[in-house]
Structure formats: C-alpha cells, structure tokens
C-alpha cells in the first residue's frame, strides 16, 4: 500500500502540480500579484524552517558576519 502512495509523490508529479497551481494563480491574479504571492509563500516557508529548528538564525548571523570580515584589513 505504501509503495502505491509513494509512486505519486515523485519530483515530476510534484513539479507538475506546482506548475499547474502557479499557472492558475497567474491567470487569476496576474503576474505582479502572483510574484508577490510567491514571495509571501517563500517567506512563510523560511519562517517555518526557523520555527522548527532547521535553520539556526544565530549561526547564520555569525557566518554572515565572519564572511564580511574576510576581505577587510584590520
């Protein structure tokens, strides 16, 4: 039974569903509003990853800070 469910959740099927949804959003709302919607969805996805602990903001900040100091002279 599980093998039958996993057959539908392959990357091609997921990509086709996402493409269908994005196409419908563009048709219904227009390109500008669709881009804004996608940006909000990505922001929500990022917040969800931070909330679940998959992204550590303190580590990300430290890495960003150290990358900026590499090219500077003291």
Strand runs (DSSP E) across 1-74, as ranges? Answer: none
The predicted-structure confidence for 20-35, as pLDDT tens digits, reads as follows: 998 999 999 999 999 9
- Tell me how far apart the alpha carbons of residues 17 and 56 are, in angstroms, rounded to a whole number: 30
Residues of the chain by 3-state class (helix, strand, coil), percent to 5: 80, 0, 20
Q: Which residue, among 65, 68, 46, 45, has the nearest Cα to 56 in the 3D structure?
A: 46
Average pLDDT, the chain: 84
Identify the residue whose tokens are 């550590």: 56
> Cα 38 to chain center, whole Å?
9
Amino acid 66: pLDDT? 85
């Amino acid at each position: 039974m599980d093998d039958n469910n996993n057959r539908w959740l392959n990357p091609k099927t997921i990509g086709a569903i996402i493409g269908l949804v994005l196409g419908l959003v563009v048709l219904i709302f227009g390109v500008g509003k669709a881009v804004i919607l996608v940006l909000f969805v990505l922001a929500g996805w990022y917040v969800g990853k931070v909330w679940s602990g998959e992204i550590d903001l303190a580590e990300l900040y430290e890495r960003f800070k150290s990358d900026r100091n590499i090219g500077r002279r003291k």
